[in-house]
Amino acid sequence: MARIIVVTSGKGGVGKTTTSASISTGLAKRGHKTVVIDFDVGLRNLDLIMNCERRVVYDFVNVIQGEASLNQALIKDKRVETLYILPASQTREKEALTREGVEKVINELSQTFDYIVCDSPAGIEHGAQMALYYADEAIVVTNPEVSSVRDSDRILGILQSKSRRAEMGQDPVKEHLLLTRYNPDRVDRGEMLSVKDVEEILAIPLLGVIPESQVVLNASNQGLPVILEENSDAGQAYDDAVARLLGEDREHRFMTAQKKGFFSRMFKGG
């Protein structure tokens, strides 16, 4: 039985696809057989971030509609042995994803994979609800900014009422907060919500803090999940998050401003 993890947020552009690529790569790198599914039907992006856009032949919707087998649609990653990508369709409507269709695909994947990572589209409507419906765990990607935090809270409400686990009265979906695009300098200046602020408002356990980093854009330019930039702050932060997801206890990093010392910051008012 695979563990099903949805990467969700409500608000768009906060880093779901970046996170899905890195978390799935990190799980696979540790030897777990992992598949990452792009639920963003109509706007596929995961293939670009994973550098397999030219190898897409069939997609998720083709499989749901019986036009291709799962084996035909799955793309094997070229860097990490046990990683596969199921791309989204670019031409169809989000409504092409039905609960029965998604269930069929997930059940089949469950038989051979350890982890199924679902990259949710933005919003709280059909597509996002399909991506989270079968989840066992949810990584709620949040930026330290008012509309993102509010949308995360709304997605938490949906996880708690409209997921399969909620509808079936099973144990709730395990929720994780992943705070991304974090800038400790701006937090110190009182311009950005702190980790503590967001934790206090959303009241779910913190999986990790990913710093705002130029490396993320550079990595995505090259189709490299940023977790493979092993010397970068964002890459290491994602690696920590994967370790915590697997139950390891790792201290949180990249949460404080590094460049200036404590006192110079205080007295220069920086």
Using CB distances below 5 to 8 A depending on partner kind, what does residue 197 bind out of Mg ion, ligand ATP, other proteins, none? other proteins
AA identity, residue 52: C
Name the nearest CA neighbour of 198 among 233, 236, 241, 148: 148
Q: Is 129 in the site for Mg ion (CB under 5 A)?
A: no
State which residue, 180 or 236, has the beta carbon closest to ligand ATP. Answer: 180
Tell me how far apart the alpha carbons of residues 265 and 260 are, in angstroms, rounded to a whole number: 6
Residue among 220, 224, 229, 244 that touches ligand ATP (CB under 6 A) = 220
The footprint of other proteins on residues 116-155 (CB under 8 A) is 145-146, 149-150, 153-154
Tell me how far apart the alpha carbons of residues 9 and 160 are, in angstroms, rounded to a whole number: 14
Tell me how far apart the alpha carbons of residues 146 and 38 are, in angstroms, rounded to a whole number: 27
18 is in an annotated binding site: yes
Q: Give yes or no for a contact between 41 and 88, defined as CB atoms under 8 angstroms apart.
A: yes
Q: Is 205 in the site for ligand ATP (CB under 6 A)?
A: no
209 phi, psi to nearest 5 deg:
-125, 120
Question: x/- string (CB under 8 A) for other proteins, residues 170-209?
Answer: -----------------xxxxxxxx--x--xxx-------
Q: Is 122 in the site for ligand ATP (CB under 6 A)?
A: yes
Distance, C-alpha 44 to centroid of its chain:
14
8 is in an annotated binding site: no
To ligand ATP, the closest distance from the beta carbon of 78 in angstroms equals 21
Name the nearest CA neighbour of 10 among 111, 154, 190, 193: 154
C-alpha angle 101-99-7 in degrees, rounded to nearest 5: 100
Residue indicated by tokens 């997605």: 155
Residue among 5, 10, 15, 16 that touches Mg ion (CB under 5 A) = 16
Residue among 9, 17, 89, 232 that touches Mg ion (CB under 5 A) = 17
Residue indicated by tokens 């469950």: 110
By the criterion CB under 6 A, which residues form the site for ligand ATP?
A: 9, 12-18, 40, 45, 121-122, 180-181, 210, 212-213, 216-217, 220, 234
Binding residues for ATP, as ranges, are 11-18
- In the complex, which residues of this chain contact Mg ion (CB under 5 A)? 16-17
